[in-house]
């Protein structure tokens, strides 16, 4: 593990350099990942990833299982800090600030980067309290403000009409799809700049999935969204840009149409056409 | 990933698969004959029957014990008939029959017998029957119980006018109420339910109660204030040099106060002694079955009833009034009679205090171990040590509690805060606080282990969800982890409570006494006196059953007190479990 430079570089030799297409952005980059490596103990999971996430757009991370999509996503809000023996090298910056700078405030970073998980994880509280949680954590006591934020977030997550009469019932009584939308509402209640979603639909049925996709479409423009998905159609439907990863490397990155219709790398081609994965 | 059909496998691979399958089935066949135990386990039946039988036996034994305690505890206070027994030698004895058994009379006893009963015994392989009577009248005969062999008994009857009289002293009296006498005038009592007798008895009881209230309440208060003044003077003399003006002033003040208080005391004491004279002049004349008379104050009788002449309703009345006395009154007669209210209170207070101490202590320790400490060898060692602490004999904790809490900690507290009371210890001896702390130490491993497990069981996704919202570690623990873990923590606390409430051995060293003069809570500042020694139901059982003058007299009390202890622990556990279930319902809804 001490010969990191020796193991990191040949990656590009084996798989060829990352293919970058023109991305669809026009507002500049919200997140800038440059030459990022990551090790779980002795095992390297990410190999010199470099990409910029366009502000206000939806960027999808695709790739076969175990290729490091979740790992990369969880680096964006430093969720990986909880793991023992994790080492990183390189730079991720959000709005020009280095996430992994020694002086960086992890809590402030996480407030900037909302996150939605694979399995809905509502807290065992009322629906209202779930959405109000990011505000409570900030120490906000102002009732009217909390109520307003909760309503705005629930409307934003297209859940308001379904739950407005049962705000003070347990969130655990909601259906899976509703729970996931509640988690989205919770994530946007903290007014983040970036929304990170790790396979948000993989535990849901097609109808609930369609609702979430619709919702992502509505949130486009308000937030920068990074979404991990296994579903090619979903990636094609919701994303503006796509990054294809393979064995910890970023293979191809660019606007969705180009990556899906005219991929340069053979592995990307195989994957998006469903030939492997 | 690549799930191509088997047909497309190369020839060599198919051969390898087939030979592997052959080898496995070969091994299975060989083992089937050899490993008999595995075969039995596979079939399962005999082992299941053994285990099931053992379990059933265990449950039956526990149920049997509970039933025994329950039944004996419940019937203890039921008034039983009194038999009057005339013996062959003409003696008349009366008492409640308690139980019968067969025994082998000695040779010299047999030799002294008449031929008829002797041949009866010999036909019976030398065995005879005898009955234990609760005869009471300890003051007349020096005995509460008496075995009467069948061959001595000439006649047994149940006269309607025999009374069972429960007294403040000397135990029960079995006999008749002959007369009441006051001021030298003796008025015979003809009827067992004479309204005059009942009315006079109630008056006398009220008088006795007001004497007690006066002595405990008002005279007690004056004594308390006098003691406070004395302590204040002593404090002044410790703080100020001899001959200084401050000390003189304190002495002066003390003299004034003392005089005033003593005068007050005198007035009250006069009133009390006047009432006492009235109490002692209001007499009742009792006579036992043989006609021996005994005079005593009417007010010293707790209750009396004609045991052979009771209707069911009256029996029930006696039964309930005895339960009431048991639950609400103080003990008398070296704990074998009266109530156990101080012991109930002591047990309850100690358990409550124990829970209040052990919960935060155990939870904080577990939180540190599980959430904050760096998981490594040191934490493992700490964890193993904590687990092993649960196996240390409880008496060791008692010794530690006495040495560390009472003598070292309490001794220092006395030196610093209560120097004026020395050499009398205040905190420097066993007491409620030290007993609770000792038991908290004893039970804290249970809470730590349960809490750690509950914390570990909180899903990672919950923590991550909270952290992703920008919550700090402590906010996550407080808002998400602890509420989720609460039912598990409560389980640990319940277990700790059950263990602590039933523990007696260490308590005998750190503050439980046979008879505590005062409750740990009273009307004098600071109202809660955690330094006081206290009574405990578990110790009460030990004391009544095995330390009293007559174990036969204590036996029923052992059962009732055991019943009560079980009921108390049961009630506390049930309420804790209900609380836990409410929490559980709040935190665990349907997932999808
Ligand atoms: N906590 C961890 N410790 C060690 N290795 C890990 C850890 N988490 C992930 N890995 C490894 O890192 C690699 C990337 O994992 P990651 O979870 O990022 O994959 P993924 O692309 O999200 O896969 P999936 O699509 O199945 O979710 C995998 O090889 C995985 O085994
Ligand atoms: Mg993943």
pLDDT digits (tens, 9 = 90+) for A161-199: 899 899 998 898 898 889 999 999 999 898 898 999 998
| Shortest Cα–Cα distance, B583 to chain A (Å) | 11
Spatial separation of the C-alpha atoms in residues B490 and B400, rounded to whole Å: 27
Q: Does domain B344-588 have CATH number 3.40.50.300?
A: no
CA B228, B231, B236, B242 torsion-angle sign:
positive
If residue B139 lies in a helix (H) or strand (E), which one and from where to where?
helix B138-141
Of A44, A67, A227, A231, the residue with max ligand 1 atoms within 8 A of its CB, to mutate for a pocket test, comes to A67
Share of chain A above pLDDT 70, in %: 94
In ligand 1, which atom is closest to the CA atom of A67? 21
Q: Which residue has the higher pLDDT, B108 or A224?
A: A224
Question: How buried is residue B336: exposed, middle or buried, by Cβ count under 10 Å (0-12/13-18/19+)?
Answer: buried
**What 3-state DSSP class applies to B112?**
coil
Rounded distance between C-alpha atoms, residue B233 and residue B421, angstroms: 11
Instruction: Flag if A110 and B1 touch (Cβ within 8 Å).
Output: no
Tokens of B134: 């609760």
- What's the pLDDT at B455? 92
* Pairing status of strand A58-62 against strand A241-246: parallel
**Nearest Cβ partner for A124 among B468, B484, B592:** B484
pTM across the whole model:
0.79
Q: Which of B470, B471, B483 to mutate to test the interface with A (most CBs of A within 10 A)?
A: B470
- Distance (Å) from CA B436 to ligand 2 centroid: 51
CA nearest neighbour of B282 among B267, B292, B269, B295: B295
Cα separation, A254 vs A49, in Å, equals: 14
Query: What would the pLDDT profile of A93-103 be if each residue is shown by its tens digit?
Result: 988 889 998 88
| pLDDT at residue B489 greater than cutoff 50 | yes
Pocket test for ligand 1, best of A70, A87, A115, A228 (most atoms within 8 A of CB): A70
Q: CA–CA separation, B467 vs B476, rounded Å?
A: 7
Average of pLDDT values for B184-209? Answer: 85
pLDDT confidence tier of residue B36, bands split at 50, 70 and 90: low
Sheet with B145-149, side-by-side order of all strands: B145-149, B128-134, B92-103, B83-87, B153-157
Residue B123 and residue B110 in contact, taking contact as beta carbons nearer than 8 Å: no
| Closest residue, chain A, to B462 (C-alpha) | A121
Residue B40 has pLDDT above 60, yes or no: no
Report whether pLDDT(A115) > 70.
yes
pLDDT of residue A228: 94
Does A45 sit in the ligand 1 pocket, CB within 6 Å? Answer: yes
3-state secondary structure B424-441: CCCCCCCCHHHHHHHHHH
Return the pLDDT at A72: 93
State the Cα–Cα distance between residues A50 and A251, nearest whole angstrom.
10
Confirm or reject contact between A22 and chain B (CB < 8 A).
no
| Binary contact (A170, B462; C-beta < 8 A) | no
ipTM over cut 0.95: no
Cβ–Cβ of A77/B468 closer than 8 Å?
yes
Which pLDDT band, with edges at 50, 70 and 90, does B587 fall under? Answer: low
The answer to whether B429 touches B436, Cβ cutoff 8 Å, is no
Print the SS3 string covering chain A. Answer: CCCHHHHHCHHHHHHCCCEECCCCCCCCEEEEEEEEEEEECCEEEEEEEEEEEECCCEEEEECCCCCCHHHHHHHHCCHHHHCCCEEEEEEEEECCEECCCCCCCHHHHHHHEEEECCCCCCCCCEHHHHHHHHHHHCCCCCHHHHHHHHHHHHHHCCCHHHHCCCCCCEHHHCCHHHHHHHHHHHHHHCCCCEEEEECCCCCCCHHHHHHHHHHHHHHECCEEEEEECCCHHHHHHHCCEEEEEECCEEEEEEEHHHHHHCCCCHHHHHHHCCCCC
Identify the residue whose tokens are 């309290």: A129
Q: Is the distance from CB of B133 to CB of B307 less than 8 angstroms? A: no
Most A-contacting residue of B374, B376, B469 (CB-CB within 10 A), to test interface: B469
CA A51 to CA A253: how far, in whole Å?
A: 8
- Cβ separation A175–B592 shorter than 8 A: yes
- pLDDT (0 to 100) of residue A239: 92
Is residue A67 lining ligand 1, measured as CB closer than 6 Å? yes
Task: Report helix, strand or coil for B291.
Answer: coil
From residue B521, alpha-carbon distances to B296, B413, B430, B433 in Å are 35, 20, 16, 13
What's the start-to-end Cα distance of chain B, in Å? 30
The CB of A87 under 6 Å from ligand 1? The reply is no
Residue nearest to atom 30 of ligand 1 (CA): A66
How many Cβ atoms sit within 10 Å of the Cβ of residue A219?
20
pLDDT in tens, A18-41: 888 777 777 788 899 999 999 998
Q: By the CB < 8 Å criterion, does A186 face chain B? A: yes
* In the predicted structure, residue B547 carries a pLDDT above the cut 80: no
The answer on pLDDT for B542 being more than 70 is yes
Backbone angles phi, psi at B133, to 5 degrees: -110, 135
The per-residue pLDDT for A2 is 38
Q: What's the CA gap between B261 and B229, in Å, rounded?
A: 10
Task: Please determine, for residue B42, whether its predicted confidence score (pLDDT) is greater than 60.
Answer: no
Question: Would you list the domain boundaries of chain B?
Answer: 5-75, 83-159, 186-304, 344-588
Digit-coded pLDDT (tens) for B244-291: 787 888 888 888 888 888 888 898 889 889 888 888 888 888 888 888
Weakest mean pLDDT among A40-49, B36-45, B90-99, B569-578: B36-45
User: What integer is the mean pLDDT of A64-77?
Assistant: 92
**Cβ within 8 Å, pair A187-B466:** no
């Amino acid at each position: 593990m001490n010969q990191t430079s020796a193991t990191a570089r040949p990656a590009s030799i084996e798989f060829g350099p990352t293919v970058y297409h023109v991305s669809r952005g026009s507002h500049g980059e919200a997140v800038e990942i440059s030459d990022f490596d990551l090790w779980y103990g002795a095992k390297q999971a990410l190999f010199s990833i470099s990409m910029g996430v366009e502000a206000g757009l939806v960027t999808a991370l695709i790739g076969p299982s175990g290729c490091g999509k979740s790992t990369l996503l969880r680096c964006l809000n430093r969720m990986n800090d909880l793991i023992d023996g994790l080492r990183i090298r390189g730079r991720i910056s959000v709005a020009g600030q280095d996430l992994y700078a020694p002086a960086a405030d992890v809590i402030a970073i996480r407030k900037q980067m909302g996150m939605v998980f694979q399995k809905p994880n509502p807290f065992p509280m009322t629906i209202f309290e779930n959405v109000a949680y990011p505000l409570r954590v900030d120490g906000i006591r102002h009732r009217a403000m909390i109520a307003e934020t909760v309503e705005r977030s629930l409307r934003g997550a297209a859940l308001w009409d379904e739950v407005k009469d049962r705000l003070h019932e347990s969130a655990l009584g909601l259906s899976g799809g509703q729970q996931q939308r509640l988690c989205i509402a919770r994530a946007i209640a903290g007014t983040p700049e970036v929304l990170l979603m790790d396979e948000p639909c993989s535990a849901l049925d097609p109808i609930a999935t369609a609702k979430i996709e619709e919702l992502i479409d509505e949130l486009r423009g308000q937030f920068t969204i990074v979404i991990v998905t296994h579903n090619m159609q979903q990636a094609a439907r919701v994303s503006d840009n796509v990054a294809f990863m393979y064995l910890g490397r970023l293979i191809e990155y660019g606007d969705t149409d180009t990556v899906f219709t005219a991929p340069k790398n053979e592995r990307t081609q195989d994957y998006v056409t469903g030939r492997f994965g | 990933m690549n799930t191509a059909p088997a047909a497309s496998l190369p020839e060599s691979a198919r051969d390898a698969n087939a030979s592997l399958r052959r080898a496995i089935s070969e091994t299975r066949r060989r083992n089937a004959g050899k490993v008999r135990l595995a075969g039995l386990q596979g079939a399962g039946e005999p082992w299941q029957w053994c285990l099931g039988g053992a379990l059933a036996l265990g449950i039956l034994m526990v149920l049997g014990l509970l039933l025994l305690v329950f039944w004996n505890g419940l019937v203890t206070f039921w008034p039983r008939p009194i038999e009057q027994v005339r013996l062959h030698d003409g003696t008349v004895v009366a008492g409640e029959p308690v139980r019968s058994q067969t025994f082998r009379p000695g040779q010299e006893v047999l030799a002294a017998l008449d031929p008829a009963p002797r041949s009866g015994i010999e036909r019976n392989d030398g065995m005879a029957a005898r009955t234990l009577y609760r005869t009471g009248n300890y003051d007349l005969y020096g005995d509460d119980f008496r075995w009467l062999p069948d061959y001595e008994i000439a006649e047994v009857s149940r006269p309607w006018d025999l009374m069972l009289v429960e007294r403040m002293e000397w135990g029960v009296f079995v006999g008749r109420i002959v007369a009441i006498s006051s001021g030298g005038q003796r008025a015979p009592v003809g009827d067992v339910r004479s309204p005059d007798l009942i009315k006079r008895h109630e008056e006398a009881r009220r008088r006795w109660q007001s004497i007690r209230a006066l002595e405990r309440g008002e005279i007690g208060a004056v004594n308390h204030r006098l003691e406070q003044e004395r302590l204040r003077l002593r404090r002044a003399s410790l703080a100020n040099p001899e001959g200084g003006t401050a000390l003189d002033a304190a002495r002066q003040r003390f003299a004034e106060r003392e005089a005033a208080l003593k005068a007050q005391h005198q007035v009250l004491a006069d009133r009390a002694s006047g009432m006492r004279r009235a109490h002692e002049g209001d007499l009742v004349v009792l006579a036992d079955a043989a006609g021996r008379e005994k005079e005593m104050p009417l007010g010293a009788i707790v209750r009396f009833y004609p045991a052979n002449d009771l209707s069911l309703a009256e029996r029930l009345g006696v039964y309930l009034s005895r339960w009431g006395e048991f639950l609400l009154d103080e003990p008398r007669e070296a704990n074998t009679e009266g109530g156990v209210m101080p012991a109930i209170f002591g047990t309850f207070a100690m358990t409550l205090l124990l829970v209040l101490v052990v919960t935060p202590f155990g939870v904080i320790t577990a939180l540190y171990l599980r959430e904050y400490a760096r998981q490594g060898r040191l934490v493992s060692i700490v964890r193993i040590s904590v687990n092993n602490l649960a196996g240390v004999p409880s008496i060791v904790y008692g010794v530690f509690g006495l040495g560390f809490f009472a003598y070292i900690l309490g001794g220092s507290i006395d030196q610093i805060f209560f120097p004026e009371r020395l050499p009398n210890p205040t905190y420097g001896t066993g007491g409620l606080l030290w007993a609770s702390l000792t038991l908290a130490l004893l039970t804290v491993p249970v809470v730590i282990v349960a809490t750690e497990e509950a914390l570990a069981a909180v899903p990672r996704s919950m923590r991550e969800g909270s952290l992703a919202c920008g919550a700090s570690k402590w906010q996550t623990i407080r808002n998400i982890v602890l509420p989720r873990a609460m039912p598990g923590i409560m389980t640990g606390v319940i277990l700790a409570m059950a263990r602590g409430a039933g523990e007696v051995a260490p308590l005998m060293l750190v503050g439980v006494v046979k008879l505590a003069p005062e409750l740990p809570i009273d009307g004098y500042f600071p109202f809660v006196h955690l330094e006081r020694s206290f009574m405990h139901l578990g110790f009460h059982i030990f004391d009544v059953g095995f330390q009293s003058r007559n174990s036969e007299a204590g036996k029923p009390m052992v059962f009732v007190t055991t019943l009560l202890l079980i009921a108390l622990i049961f009630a506390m556990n049930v309420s804790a479990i209900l609380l836990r279930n409410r929490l559980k319902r709040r935190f665990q809804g349907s997932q999808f």
